[in-house]
Amino acid sequence: MNDVADRLNITKPALYHYFDNKEDILLECYRLGVGLIEEILNEIADHCGTGLQKVEAFIHSYATVMTVNFGRCVMRLDEGDLTSGARAEMRAYKRKIDRRLRGFIQEGIEDGSIAQCDTKITAFSIAGALNWICMWYEPDGALSAEEIATQFARTLTQGLRP
């Protein structure tokens, strides 16, 4: 908490004026990360073409989000450390994102841009790969966030093509 207060140039007691406890701070970071993802999903749904194009845009955008602090927070937050109410909130956000990805996959199956597949397993495969980025990504690593996102989008959509 001292590090957070120092980074924000405020006192530790000032933090607790805005947040009741550490969990509230974690949840707010989580909400900000999910907010980034939801904005991207809405943009994709409104402006991309086929289902496969939507899935590819989702993968690219999500991979990019997993390389920024709030995005990394979304996946690194351990549900086991949360109260039941906070855990339920987190799970609701995850379900919402999963439903959107499954919807894009289903659109692709229906429009013929994605081969017949199980949308649940396909979404889980994509999400599992993407969510792991936050565990190994290093900002000063060999590949930029853009290079990683591009390679993930290409790799993870190749197997979906009819």
Q: Which residue has the tokens 């927070």?
A: 73
Q: Is 139 helix (H, G, I), strand (E, B) or coil?
A: coil
Task: For 40-97, write each residue's pLDDT tens digit.
Answer: 889 999 888 999 999 999 999 888 888 876 666 666 667 777 889 988 988 898 899 8
Q: Are 56 and 114 in contact (CB under 8 A)?
A: no
Task: For 91-138, write each residue's pLDDT tens digit.
Answer: 898 899 899 999 999 999 999 999 999 999 999 999 999 988 888 888
**End-to-end CA distance of the chain, in Å?**
51
Q: What is the pTM of this model?
A: 0.82
| Domain 23-158 fold | Tetracycline Repressor; domain 2 (1.10.357)
